[in-house]
Amino acid sequence: LAGLPLPDAQCLYAGAGWVSPPALVREWLTLPAVTLRCHSAVAQLQAVDGSGWQALDAQDQVIAQADVVVLASAHDTPRLLQGHTDVALWPLQRRRGQVTQVPASVAEATGLPRPRLPLASGGYLIALPDALGGGVLCGATSQACDEDTAVRADDHRHNLRQIDALIGVHTEWRDEAVAALQGKVGWRLATDDRLPVVGAVPLCMAQMAGLRRLDQPRHVPRVAGLYVMTALGSRGLTWAALLGEALAACVSGAPVPLSASVLDAVDPARFVARVARRPSTAVAGASS
């Protein structure tokens, strides 16, 4: 089915596939009631009594106003949450990743196979259509505390070794072949428990002094009208649609397509609950 022999037994996900992220985003932006505003950097969020929230630019001018705000701004989210919640409690990690694109000519010259189906196990191998340049795409690296924007040969070699593990064939890559590879560098936001952060933003700890039952996320008081969807890690497109639907249901009061235990697992208030469970650092009066 994959079009090449594989070293181990594999699972076939008959309804799965791959998607071009820019194409998917463009499609989502055509949905009714979606308005795209570019070149409108938000410097801060400001709560307005009785009027919801305002997004302000660097000159304190109002960019937009709404009853509800959802922050889906990846590693820029903590900056916008400052003053609204104890975002320093959130164990967020910014991780660098590099993907490798092997041009069709290089893949042919090195004997790199083009699978009929995407292969994934740790790394991945995807044959690109001619409209996207042909060749294959593989990846990806994951490095913490790394802000290097340059595409690196060592990272290409890491991704190529992952291909070897997927197809069970060792391919020799000369320096000139590696130099001909293309790539892209980006950053993912993740958490220490590898789960996203989705839901209503909890109040600051100082505002909850004396409250009980904070050891359960669902009992933590929230900032009115302020929600977050971030830290999707390396599974952004896999999780985004379902989590977006769940968050919209939470905001609007519609039935939520996730269980209560899953909502607790991704709730931003789980970080407050962790603190409340530590007797030495619990909020005054909170149950432990």
CA distances from 34 to 5, 26, 30, 56, 254 (A): 45, 11, 7, 20, 19
CA distances from 143 to 94, 163, 196, 253 (A): 9, 19, 18, 39
Express each pLDDT in 23-79 by its tens digit.
999 999 999 989 999 999 999 999 998 779 999 999 999 999 999 999 999 999 999
Other Cβ atoms closer than 10 A to 114: 17
Express each pLDDT in 1-38 by its tens digit.
999 989 888 999 988 888 888 899 999 999 998 999 99
The residues, any chain, with a CB within 8 Å of residue 191's CB and separated by 6 or more, are 90, 91, 92, 93, 197, 231, 233
Express each pLDDT in 150-185 by its tens digit.
999 999 999 999 999 999 888 889 999 999 999 999
Express each pLDDT in 263-279 by its tens digit.
999 999 999 999 888 87
Quote the pTM value. 0.88
**pLDDT at residue 281 greater than cutoff 80:** no
Distance CA 116, CA 169 (A): 17
**pLDDT at residue 241 greater than cutoff 70:** yes
Question: Average pLDDT over the chain, rounded to whole?
Answer: 91
- What number is the average pLDDT over the span 231-236? 90
Q: Say whether 268 sits in a helix, a strand or coil.
A: coil
The strand order across the sheet containing 197-202 reads 69-71, 222-230, 197-202
Q: What is the pLDDT of residue 162?
A: 93
